[in-house]
Structures are given as C-alpha cells and as structure tokens.
C-alpha cells in the first residue's frame, strides 16, 4: 500500500471539475459538463456527462468536439427530448468561429448545431414548450437580419487596422474589450426550423453589457413574454441601477415592469403560475455594500422585499419551488455557502443544505440535485434527500452522491485538517479565520505561517475548494495556512461588510495582525517564518502590510494582481465604482485616496516580495504590479516579477498555474532561513533562473 501523497500542483491539475447540473423533467437524470485538465497538453477539455439520480454509473454523452472542446452550459429541454449546450466545434464541414448552440438527444448520437451566430452564443434558456430557445448574442443594433450581421462581423474580422475606438463609459470588463459597436440582444431560435429572430432588432433595447447571462432574463410559463434586466440609461455604466422590463413576443412591445433609481434589480424568475415575479434587489442608493435581497412583484405592479430582516446576500439564480410557496437560492454565512428556502408568505428562511459550499442546484419533479464542494474536496454532485416529514424542522437532510469522478485520486491523498477559528480583531469585533494545517501536523513541531488573503474585498474564504489559492496545496509544503475573513468580507452581515468603506486597509490590517498574534501564541508557529500572500485586494493588503509593518515582522510576501496605487486604478474597468469604495474621487480629495494607497508610503517598503501580474488583467491593470515591482527595485528591496502575457486577473492555464505555485514555493523558501529581519536593502546579485533573453 503506497503511502498517501500530499496534494501538489500537478495533482491538483489532474482533478476533474464539474459544472452546474440540469435535471430532466422527471428528475431521474442530470446532465453536467465535466472539465478534465490535460497538463501535458497545457489545456482542458469539457464534455457532457449524464448522471442517474436513481443509482448507476455516469455515462459520457459528448466527446467534446475538438481537443480543446468546451461543451458547456447543458440544459435539458422541458419536453425531455433534447439537451441543449454551448460548444465551439468543427463538424459537418463547418468550423465554428464562435461558440454556438448544439442539441443532442439524451440517448446519445451526434450533436446537431442549432445556430451559426457570427459573434457566438453567450447563454440561453429553453422555452417552456421545448420547441424554442431564447439566447443572448452580441449584435450590431443598427442592422437587420442575420445576413447583415454576418457581413458586418466579417468586415470587422477582416479589417486591416487593429485599433479599438470607443466613447463609452463601460468599454471593457475583466479581460474583454466590449465588442466595438455591438450590444447584447435577446434572440429566439426555433428548434425544428433553426429560424433565428432578434427580439430587440430595430430597437434601443439591450441586456446588461457586463457578462450578460441567462439569469438576466426569464420566459413566462405561457411562453408569450420575456422579462429582462437592463440599464435604463442611454450611456451604460457598471454602477447604474438596473431595471426590469418585459417584451411581449407576438407584438414585440416592451413595457417597463419595475424601475427604481435607488435599487439595482436583477435575476427575475416567473412563478410557475405566472402570477408573481421573484427577483434580487439591492438598495444601492443607501450603500453599494447593501446585500442582494429577495423581492417579489405581483400582477398589480406592487413589489416588496421579503428578506428585509435577513442579513444575508442572496445569490442568483432564484428558483420557485414547485408549489410556488417558496424560493430556493444559495447564500453565504460565515465563510460557508448554504442552500436556503424562503417562504413567500411568512418570509421565514430555512437552510435546506448546510455547506461547505453549495455553488449550484437544480430542482425537478421533487428531486433536488446540488453541486457542492468543501475545504477537503472539489465540486461534487449529490441528490439532497429529505428524511422525515416534508417541511418538518426535525426533518434531516441527507446527501446521496451521484458521481465519484475524483474519488480515486482523492482517496490516495493525505490532506491537512482545516478548521475555523475566531479571534478579537479590529474594534474588538469577532473575526473568523480558516486555518489549514499541513498533513501529518504535530503541535510539538514548529511550522511557518502563510497568510492567504482573499480578494474583493467583499468576498470570503472558508469551507470551500479553491483552484487558484488552494490551501491544501500550500499546506502540503509545510505551512500552516491562515485565511482571515477581515472586516469588509462578505457573509458576516451588512455592518461588517460596510465597515471599511472610505478607509480601505485600516481595519483589515488590524485583523490580519491580530490573527498572526493569535497564532503566534501557539507553540507550533515559528515567529521567524511568517509570510503573507494575496490576490487582487489580497495583493493590495500585502503591499499595504509592506508599507505599514516594521521590517522583519514577515520574511516575505507574494503580491498577485495587487493594487498599489488607487489613483492609478482609474485605469481599471471598475473605475466608476471607486469613489463609493474609497470615499472620494481622487481629484476631489487626493490625500484621502493616497492615505489608502500603499504607494503613498513607498519609502517604508522593506520586505522581499514576489510580484505576479497578467497582462490581460483589465480589473487591476498590470501597471499596478509593475509599479510596485519597480518601486521595490528602486528601493533596493529584494523583489521578483512573475508576469504572464497571456493571463488575465487569474492564472488559468495549467502550465502557468503549476509554475505559479512553484514560484511561490521557491520565493518563500528562499526567505525561510537566515536572519528573521528582512533582507538588508542592497541590490541582490541573483543567479536565479536563466538570464532572460533580450526581448526581440
Ligand atoms: C468597486 S468594483 C470591485 C469589484 C470586485 N470587488 C468585489 O468584492 C473586485 O474586482 N475586486 C478586486 C479588487 C478591486 C477593488 C476595487 C476596484 C478594482 C479592483 C479583487 O479583489 O478581485
């Protein structure tokens, strides 16, 4: 029996990654996308799998077209006769230039291409009759018909210049330039004829431009109307409050359903009887940090927030349960994400499934299937079975696995214990952290401490499996890994999340330092081997620590896609929201902005830092990381730059990810021995790595 191995980056990249499930009408089968990384080829391919909810082994349904096949977003038709999915393939003599809609019978066979939309299909939903599909595609709004769209698309593809020109406020998002001159429309395709109609053609209507998805619209039970989310302002902006409108398919008439300048509305879903519309509402005018609340609109135009007294943020999608008496959705609580049911009459909320981390679910004919993960396993698919009487508080929930894709790999791995701990942080508040111990941990030995500081800041780390900052991979290197849910984190209520607004960095630093002091009171933490790492806002925090803490407190830092200069962050795609977070615009109160910026205290930087950035990162432009690295070099502080020309805000390619982890291990390892003080400020003659070839 070979000794169990610990989790290393290459093994992490052998694990399969499951996508959101879709149930067939009778609930007997689910379909999901399964992504299998192929590290040797530095790629991943995705195929669709069928899983019985009644028992039996999963069955592969598609063979993922091209080697880089990305069969995804599978959804069962309401008639049960087809599964629709999005793929980019070369078949029947046609090579898809962009992802298209495909159909495949659940009994297998060859998938059939349903669309040939020039810019590709973003997302879709079936009509209740199972004979049509509504989908999202980017189109040139002034053109009529698919032929004209294809011609304009071809012209744009074949243009000789490479310029990107715009006068828009919102013109890029994460790593995408929003397509010049195109906007997201809702289109309908007839399954039998393949005929495509653009519902917004010839109008000024469009869906939201920032990653429009199937949660941005819903189709009425009678198939005659579609409600959709839109930005009612002529000039679109990430910060605008979105509204709900409804199009009547026969007449193409669009009527405003709900629009409130103080509320940002999203994720509308019709009840099965069509008498109510549930949606998410965030009181943005009060504070941008207000939670997503569950609301319902009736046929008289009256709407109400149902979760006003529930200090949690509901996540899209919302699902009506089958009797329209309740709404199901995921929501975080204290670093976990559970599945909840809200009773629409009493407004009472009830936890249906306690995570770990529930990331997706589907409900059909009384069967409830979940996609869930935890600190100890990646996403799994399970049926949630209710034991005891329906609805009884005493009824217990039991998960029944319906796949075991990663079980063999995981059972041969020795993982470290992961536990939540609470301590007194800033302002005397209780603050949570998640501590992951090395496999084989012994309290009688001494270990280095590594902070992994989450980004956002309004997110949380916890009992979940993280592919990029995997605590088990880091702990396997011998670190005690701490993930502090600092002030400003989500899942701890509105007051906690909003507590940092206008003063970013302050309370968070106190929390992280209080966590370090708490852990230093344990005999097994080596005070001479303290490290901190983080991505994006977490990267900002390690730069902030470098600018505020005395040399030698920490031996080294890792700053991934970190913010160094909030004024220069006006180059971010998220620039229009900065003043709400920082409390001022940089030209109105430059001192306040500089006081929240590590660059404002550059003279104090002293701790060796590995700086990581991707060139295609439009959220935190790579100039932030380069400025930080260059400043460290100018100060004579030990620094190393890991820069990816082909990565965005995250490191997504297998080979780059394996290198990313190794660079972190090496960097921290280089700063583990020797004096506990930071390296003296002197230029380092380093022979590390190859001398870079002179750029051609
Ligand atoms: C004000 S938009 C920030 C959106 C998001 N924060 C969610 O919690 C985000 O992108 N955060 C970045 C850091 C960042 C913060 C503010 C402006 C740009 C980037 C992250 O941590 O990923």
pLDDT in tens, 401-439: 999 999 999 999 999 999 999 999 999 999 999 999 999
H-helix or E-strand spanning residue 196:
strand 196-198
- Report percent pLDDT > 70 for the chain: 94
Give the separation between CA 129 and CA 113, rounded to whole angstroms. 20
Question: Are 258 and 251 within 8 A, CB to CB?
Answer: no
Q: Give me the DSSP letters along 422-446.
A: EEE-GGG-EEEEEEEPPTT--TTS-
Using alpha carbons, select from 333, 317, 511, 551 the residue that is nearest to residue 422.
511
pLDDT computed for residue 695 by the predictor: 36
The Å distance, Cα 537 to ligand 1 centre, comes to 7
The Å distance, Cα 105 to ligand 1 centre, comes to 42
pLDDT in tens, 515-537: 999 999 999 999 999 999 999 99
Tokens in use for 115? 């669309």
Kindly list the distances between the CA atom of residue 115 and the CA atoms of 98, 102, 214, 349, in Å, as whole numbers in the listed order. Answer: 10, 7, 17, 41
Closest C-alpha to ligand 1, atom 12: 456
Using alpha carbons, select from 523, 563, 515 the residue that is nearest to residue 539.
563
pLDDT at 339 exceeding the cut of 80:
yes
pLDDT in tens, 455-469: 999 999 999 999 999
pLDDT computed for residue 397 by the predictor: 74
Identify whether 356 is preceded by a cis peptide bond (ω within 30 of 0): yes
Average pLDDT, the chain: 94
Question: Could you identify the atom of ligand 1 that is nearest to the CA of residue 572?
Answer: 18
Closest C-alpha to ligand 1, atom 7: 456
pLDDT computed for residue 92 by the predictor: 86
- Report percent pLDDT > 90 for the chain: 91
pLDDT band at 552 (very low <50, low <70, confident <90, very high): very high
Is the beta carbon of 291 within 6 A of some atom in ligand 1?
no
Tell me the mean pLDDT in the region 690-696.
38
ipTM: 0.95
pLDDT band at 125 (very low <50, low <70, confident <90, very high): very high
Give the separation between CA 273 and CA 254, rounded to whole angstroms. 21
Q: Could you tell me the sign of the dihedral formed by the alpha carbons of 398, 402, 404, 406, in that order?
A: negative
Ligand 1 mutation target, pool 455, 497, 597, most atoms within 8 A of CB: 455
Count other Cβ atoms within 10 Å, centred on residue 417: 13
Closest C-alpha to ligand 1, atom 8: 456
Tell me the mean pLDDT in the region 553-564.
98
pLDDT at 68 exceeding the cut of 60:
no
Closest C-alpha to ligand 1, atom 5: 456
Q: Could you tell me the sign of the dihedral formed by the alpha carbons of 123, 127, 132, 138, in that order?
A: negative
pLDDT computed for residue 174 by the predictor: 97
Closest C-alpha to ligand 1, atom 9: 456
Ligand 1 mutation target, pool 170, 174, 211, 456, most atoms within 8 A of CB: 456
Alpha helices in 110-164, H assignment, sequence order = 146-158
pLDDT computed for residue 224 by the predictor: 98
Is the beta carbon of 128 within 6 A of some atom in ligand 1?
no
457 vs 299 pLDDT, higher one: 457
Is the beta carbon of 581 within 6 A of some atom in ligand 1?
yes
The Å distance, Cα 502 to ligand 1 centre, comes to 14
pLDDT computed for residue 70 by the predictor: 79
pLDDT at 389 exceeding the cut of 60:
no
Tell me the mean pLDDT in the region 28-48.
94
pLDDT computed for residue 391 by the predictor: 54
The Å distance, Cα 456 to ligand 1 centre, comes to 5
Give the separation between CA 436 and CA 180, rounded to whole angstroms. 46
The Å distance, Cα 575 to ligand 1 centre, comes to 10
pLDDT at 683 exceeding the cut of 60:
no
Kindly list the distances between the CA atom of residue 394 and the CA atoms of 212, 333, 429, in Å, as whole numbers in the listed order. Answer: 40, 21, 33
Kindly list the distances between the CA atom of residue 183 and the CA atoms of 179, 207, 379, in Å, as whole numbers in the listed order. Answer: 8, 8, 34
Using alpha carbons, select from 274, 123, 277, 131 the residue that is nearest to residue 190.
131
Give the separation between CA 215 and CA 20, rounded to whole angstroms. 14
pLDDT at 599 exceeding the cut of 50:
yes
Residue in the block written with tokens 């080829």: 41
Tokens in use for 41? 């080829």
pLDDT at 69 exceeding the cut of 70:
no
The Å distance, Cα 574 to ligand 1 centre, comes to 7
pLDDT at 161 exceeding the cut of 50:
yes
pLDDT computed for residue 674 by the predictor: 45
pLDDT band at 693 (very low <50, low <70, confident <90, very high): very low
pLDDT computed for residue 625 by the predictor: 98
Question: Could you identify the atom of ligand 1 that is nearest to the CA of residue 536?
Answer: 21
pLDDT at 689 exceeding the cut of 90:
no
Tell me the mean pLDDT in the region 215-230.
98
The Å distance, Cα 556 to ligand 1 centre, comes to 24
Question: Could you identify the atom of ligand 1 that is nearest to the CA of residue 649?
Answer: 22
Is the beta carbon of 619 within 6 A of some atom in ligand 1?
yes
pLDDT computed for residue 694 by the predictor: 39
Is the beta carbon of 572 within 6 A of some atom in ligand 1?
yes
Is the beta carbon of 571 within 6 A of some atom in ligand 1?
no
pLDDT at 686 exceeding the cut of 70:
no
pLDDT band at 395 (very low <50, low <70, confident <90, very high): low
pLDDT computed for residue 2 by the predictor: 58
* Domain boundary assignment for the chain: 17-114, 416-690
Least confident of 192-196, 357-361, 386-390, 580-584: 386-390
- Max Cα distance, the chain (Å): 76
pLDDT band at 681 (very low <50, low <70, confident <90, very high): very low
pLDDT computed for residue 3 by the predictor: 64
CATH homologous superfamily of 416-690: Alpha/Beta hydrolase fold, catalytic domain (3.40.50.1820)
pLDDT at 446 exceeding the cut of 50:
yes
pLDDT computed for residue 679 by the predictor: 35
Is the beta carbon of 536 within 6 A of some atom in ligand 1?
yes
The Å distance, Cα 563 to ligand 1 centre, comes to 10
Tokens in use for 214? 């199937």
pLDDT computed for residue 410 by the predictor: 97
The Å distance, Cα 118 to ligand 1 centre, comes to 32
pLDDT at 696 exceeding the cut of 70:
no
Ligand 1 mutation target, pool 620, 621, 622, most atoms within 8 A of CB: 620
Coil, strand, or helix at residue 392? coil
Question: Could you identify the atom of ligand 1 that is nearest to the CA of residue 538?
Answer: 21
The Å distance, Cα 453 to ligand 1 centre, comes to 14
pLDDT at 273 exceeding the cut of 80:
yes
Question: Could you identify the atom of ligand 1 that is nearest to the CA of residue 537?
Answer: 21
């Amino acid at each position: 029996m070979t000794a169990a191995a610990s989790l290393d980056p290459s093994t992490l990249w052998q694990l399969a990654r499951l996508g959101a499930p879709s149930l067939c009408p009778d609930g007997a089968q689910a379909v999901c996308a399964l992504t299998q990384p192929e590290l040797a080829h530095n790629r991943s391919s995705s195929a669709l799998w069928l899983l019985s909810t009644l028992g039996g082994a999963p069955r592969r349904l598609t063979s993922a077209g091209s080697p880089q096949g990305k069969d995804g977003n599978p959804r069962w038709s309401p008639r049960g006769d087809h599964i629709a999915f999005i793929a980019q393939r070369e078949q029947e003599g046609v090579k898809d230039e962009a992802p298209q809609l495909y159909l495949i019978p659940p009994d297998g066979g060859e998938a059939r291409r349903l669309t040939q939309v020039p810019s590709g299909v973003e997302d879709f939903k079936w009509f209740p009759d199972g004979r049509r599909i509504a989908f999202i595609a980017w189109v040139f709004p002034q053109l009529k018909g698919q032929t004209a769209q294809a011609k304009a698309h071809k012209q744009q593809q074949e243009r000789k210049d490479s310029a990107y020109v715009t006068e828009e406020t919102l013109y890029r998002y994460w790593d995408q330039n929003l397509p010049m001159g195109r906007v997201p429309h809702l289109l309908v395709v007839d399954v039998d004829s393949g005929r495509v109609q653009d519902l917004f053609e010839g109008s000024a209507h469009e869906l939201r431009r920032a990653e429009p998805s199937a949660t941005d619209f819903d189709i009425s039970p009678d198939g005659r109307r579609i409600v959709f989310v839109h930005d009612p302002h002529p000039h679109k902006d990430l910060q605008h409050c979105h509204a709900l409108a409804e199009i009547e398919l026969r007449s193409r008439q669009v009527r405003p359903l709900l629009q409130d300048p103080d509320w940002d509305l999203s994720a509308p879903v019709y009840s099965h009887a069509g008498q109510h519309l549930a949606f998410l509402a965030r009181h943005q005018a009060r504070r941008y940090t207000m939670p997503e609340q569950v609301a319902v609109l009736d046929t008289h135009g009256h709407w109400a927030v149902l979760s006003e007294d529930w200090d949690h943020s509901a996540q899209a999608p919302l699902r009506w349960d089958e009797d329209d008496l309740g709404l199901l959705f995921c929501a975080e609580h204290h670093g976990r994400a559970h599945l909840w049911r809200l009773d629409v009459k009493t407004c009472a909320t009830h936890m249906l499934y306690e995570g770990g981390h529930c990331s997706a679910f589907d409900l059909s004919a009384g069967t409830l299937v979940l996609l869930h993960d935890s600190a100890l396993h990646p996403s799994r698919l399970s049926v949630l079975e209710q034991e005891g009487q329906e609805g009884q508080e005493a009824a217990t929930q039991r998960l029944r696995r319906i796949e075991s894709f990663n079980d063999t790999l995981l059972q041969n791995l020795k993982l470290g214990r992961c536990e939540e701990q609470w301590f007194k942080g800033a302002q005397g508040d209780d603050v949570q952290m998640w501590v992951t111990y090395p496999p084989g941990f012994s309290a009688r030995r001494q270990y280095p401490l590594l902070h992994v500081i989450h980004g956002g800041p309004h997110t949380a780390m916890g009992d979940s499996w993280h592919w990029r900052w995997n605590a088990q991979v880091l702990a396997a290197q011998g670190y005690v890994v701490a993930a502090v849910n600092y002030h400003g984190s989500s899942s701890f209520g509105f007051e906690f999340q909003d507590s940092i607004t206008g003063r970013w960095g302050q309370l968070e630093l106190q929390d992280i330092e209080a966590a370090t002091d708490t852990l230093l009171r344990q005999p097994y933490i080596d005070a001479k081997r303290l490290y901190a790492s983080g991505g994006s806002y977490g990267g900002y925090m390690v730069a902030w620590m470098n600018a505020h803490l005395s040399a030698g407190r920490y031996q080294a830092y890792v700053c991934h896609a970190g913010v160094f200069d909030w004024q220069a962050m006006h180059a971010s795609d998220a620039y229009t929201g900065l003043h709400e977070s920082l409390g001022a615009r940089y030209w109105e109160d430059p001192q306040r902005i500089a006081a929240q910026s590590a660059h404002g205290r550059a003279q104090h930087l002293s701790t060796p830092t590995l700086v990581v950035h991707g060139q295609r990162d439009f959220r935190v432009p790579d100039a932030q990381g380069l400025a930080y690295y260059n400043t460290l070099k100018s100060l004579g502080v030990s620094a190393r730059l890991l820069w990816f020309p082909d990565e965005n805000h995250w490191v997504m390619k297998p080979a780059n990810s394996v290198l990313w982890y190794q660079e972190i291990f090496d960097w921290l390892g280089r700063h583990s021995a020797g004096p506990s003080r930071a390296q003296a400020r002197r230029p380092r003659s380093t022979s590390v790595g190859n001398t870079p070839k002179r750029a051609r």
